[in-house]
Structure 1
Amino acid sequence: MKLLVDMNLSPRWTDAGMEAAHWSNLGASNAPDTEIMAYARANDCVVLTHDLDFSAILAATQGEKPCVVQIRADDVSPDAIGMQVVAALLQMASELEAGALLTIDPSRTRLRVLPLPSRS
């Protein structure tokens, strides 16, 4: 599994023990989320983010890829929540390969299989 770390997370996430690249090394810092999603889909990456827009894009487009992992915590540094994120990624690897939205917060982890239903 390859991670694409969004601009809203520290580049230190690329040192979390998994194959990862930070968007700042791949594209423009002001790139729209749709561009990041397109890159992740084309390169078979899982997007790691703190941004809720990625799940909204998945729901609106009923997309099956790319998978998205959202960190929902006040402190999103690898020092604070890194072990929990890496453990969840390893535990849910097969679901993420198949297509999923994984939300991780300090008290729980939630997995939703893609495509997400649109909110009408």
Structure 2
Amino acid sequence: MKLLVDMNLSPRWIGLLVNAGIEAEHWSTLGEKNAPDSKIMAYASANDYVVLTHDLDFSAILAATHGKKPSVVQIRAEDVSPDVIGLQVIAALRQMASELENGALLTVDPNRTRMRLLPFQLRTGDEA
């Protein structure tokens, strides 16, 4: 699994992830710092990355496009520093690795981890 760390997370995430044996790149080393989320998603999809972010827009893009890739890992915490929630994120990545390889939205917050497989399925009453 390769992770693409979004601009809204510190580049310090790279050291933590690499030390845990997870290949990772920060978007600031790959593309324009002000690139729209759609461009980051397209790059991640074309290059087989999983996006690590604190931004809810990525899950909205997946929902709107009914996308199957790239997988997205959202950190939902007030303090998103790797020192605070990093070990929990790494544990979740390892536990859900096969689902992330196949397409999933993984949400990690201090109290729990949730996963939804991609593409999102419409529920009764949802509009297509």
Asked whether the two chains share a fold, i.e. TM above 0.5, the reply is yes
Range into which the TM-score falls when normalised by the shorter chain: over 0.9
Q: Out of 45, 53, 56, which is 1:52 matched to?
A: 56
State the one-letter code of the partner of 1:28.
E
Q: List per-residue Cα deviations over 1:50-98 (Å, max 9, x = no partner).
A: 0000000000000000000000000000000000000000000001011
Cα displacement (A) at 1:116: 1.3
- 3-state SS of the aligned residue for 1:63? coil
**Equivalent residues in 2 for 1:1-120, closer than 5 Å:** 1-16=1-16, 17=20, 18-117=22-121, 120=127
CA distance in 2, matches of 1:26, 1:110: 29
Gap regions ≥5 residues in structure 2: none
Aligned length: 120
TM-score (norm 1): 0.97
Distance 1:22 1:96 in 2: 18
Letter in 1 for 2:119: P
Q: Distance in 2 between matches of 1:91 and 1:107?
A: 16
Structure 1: runs of 5 or more not aligned: none
Over the residues paired in the alignment, what is the CA RMSD in angstroms? 0.9
Instruction: List structure 1 segments (4+ residues) > 6 angstroms apart after TM superposition.
Output: none
1-side partners of 2:45 and 2:118: how far apart? 13
Give the superposition deviation at 1:36. Answer: 0.1
- The separation in 2 between residues aligned to 1:98 and 1:34, in whole angstroms, is 20
Structure 2 CA distance for aligned equivalents of residues 116 and 91 of structure 1: 21
Q: Tell me, what secondary structure is at the counterpart of 1:34?
A: helix
